[in-house]
A and B are shown apart, each in its own frame.
Chain A
């Protein structure tokens, strides 16, 4: 008995050592990978070299280090520019959870408030998200009901005249993943519903049905080895491609988004750049032919996931 206990103890020690080594190695690799991702071209380096590096980076797509950026960006301020000129500034104020904006104020170039988004709790599980114009008139609002886990169960959309425009309902499976999403019009007539299918814990397919239960279109989602959603493709019921949304990640951070229409024509793309400490995110949107449409500069806080 004592001998058996000694063997068990020895085995436990060996397993513990192996685990510790693996986790410390992983940690080391993680730190190394993060530093690599942080490396920026030094001042004075040729521009074309920088461009080549970016291209290479994009080509590599998911061939990154496998290490995830483990923070969440919480925007505090967002400056929108068009043709290099500031067109609006959004200021975010957060509630107690530090994740949900309670208030988003949008100012124009003259620092005048032009739009306000207010998120307020009206009951324990119900909140109201209102969009107001510069004169404080409600343009539209959502009444959102959440379940115990904080996930949206129902979302009602009203216009500025309090007319119910649409209702959305969500169902979740036992693991808390979205299993169905339904849309009704203001008269509570079902318009459409989407059914979500998961494979290896990832949402790989969405089937979209019209109210009579006939498949209208479906969506195929592709993920990289790190679980980042890198491609979403929409097909009609006859398997014709309708649209595609592609994303390029590196170390858990998105670097580029592309959207193609049914003719596979690039409609727009977005390039993301990050400041050295990742506290600033610059999101530049281009039209398919490369015309810069807008630039969003977000100043963020970083939170652990």
Chain B
């Protein structure tokens, strides 16, 4: 029942949504709804008002209370539920937080799964974080049920379950509380079909929640060093690829956390190293991890990646130079270990590419020390490389 504002309201209209109605028309429509039967009430509320119409929102708020108090007790349950659904959706659109409790009553108490889904989505939209645990519970329940339903071949129930999961994911995305991350992560690992789009949706919801990934990571790693905590860190690192702004900081954090806490390696470390290597600034907080890599027994491939990334870390060139200095000294004393030669080569190559003049001292020593010829040649090449920059 939308009509553009009359000319007298032109100034007002120009900053309102295009389909906003006049005050008298909105109020009249509310009266018409009030005088209509339940089915027509539902149709009008669903179709005749814009999503953000706050006059309709007030009507919905009042009407949901009276409906719950039994105003339509004589009507069919189906018709009452259809009306409740439209009322709830309207309240979600108008961000009606004061109605959260009554919406939750429906979410928690209704046998109608469609109504429960609408209630979940509305609770998310209005930001009812106090009920996030309940939505999480429902989502986890759907996640668990999915495998069972697939194996048992309950196709109809399966679809319903997927719809419920979808609504919960949407709700948690809107609540964007960090507690929502884990259940979404589980959703992504669950057995939902690709066509349902739930897993993809859960991934996207996770990127919304990971607005401040470092704090979430810290929270998770402080909480537990269990395999679940590690898996989450792993996953957030993948998610972080979508978060360009925080990518480098997050990569640095993952890099450090993984090494310092002896977490498992995986593709995410390769991502982290690559992100550090491309960083436009010196990445902080990686010094301890770098030292551990140099003295640890990690795979050559990973060690190489980390050492290549090191010059892009704050104090990274010094860490590499100190290592080379130490190894140069051992060489002088004839005590160097053969297994360190490969790391020394990597360090020399990395220092040569660093473009940092501070790297030259130990490269000169390495060139002239008692290293095998291939290391001396590498040191010479690295020096030339350094000087050419």
Contact = CB atoms under 8 A, between A and B. Distances in A.
A291 interface: yes
Contacts of A285: 54
B243 interface: no
Contacts of B28: 183, 192, 194, 208, 217
A110 B209 CA distance: 12
B58 interface: yes
B287 to A, nearest CB: 35
Interface string A278-305: 0001010101000101100010100001
Given A159-B43, A254-B15, A234 B1 contact: no
Interface string A97-125: 00001001000011000000100000000
B47 A104 contact: no
Contacts of B44: 165-166
Contacts of A208: 24, 27-28, 31
Contacts of A168: 1, 3
Contacts of A73: 14-15
Contact of B27 (A234, A267, A272): A234
A170 interface: yes
Given A168-B1, A203-B8, A210-B35, A101 B18 contact: yes
Contact of B47 (A155, A157, A202): A157
A232 interface: yes
| Interface size class of chain A, counting residues whose CB lies under 8 Å from the partner chain | 35 or more
B204 interface: yes
B48 interface: yes
Interface in B74-117: 94-95, 97-98
A234 B24 contact: yes
B301 interface: no
B93 to A, nearest CB: 10
Nearest to B23: A232
A274 to B, nearest CB: 9
Given A82-B127, A104-B18, A110-B204, A219 B27 contact: yes
Contacts of B31: 192, 208, 216-217
Nearest to A218: B24
Given A165-B48, A178-B6, A267-B58, A228 B23 contact: no
Nearest to A170: B3
Contact of A181 (B18, B25, B36, B208): B25
A152 interface: yes
Interface in B30-55: 31-32, 35-36, 40, 43-44, 46-48, 54-55
A178 B5 CA distance: 11
A203 B25 contact: no
Interface string A75-93: 1000000110101000000
B335 interface: no
Contact of B11 (A178, A203, A228): A228
B80 to A, nearest CB: 19
A190 to B, nearest CB: 11
B54 A109 contact: no
Given A72-B14, A192-B28, A206-B24, A82 B95 contact: yes
29 contacts: A72-B14, A73-B14, A75-B15, A82-B127, A117-B19, A129-B19, A142-B2, A152-B4, A155-B2, A157-B1, A159-B47, A165-B43, A166-B44, A183-B28, A194-B25, A203-B6, A208-B28, A217-B27, A217-B28, A242-B27, A243-B27, A249-B11, A254-B11, A254-B15, A267-B58, A287-B98, A291-B97, A293-B94, A300-B14
Given A87-B174, A208-B31, 18 more contacts: A74-B14, A83-B127, A157-B47, A157-B48, A165-B47, A166-B47, A170-B3, A181-B3, A191-B36, A194-B24, A216-B31, A228-B11, A229-B12, A247-B12, A252-B11, A253-B11, A254-B15, A298-B15
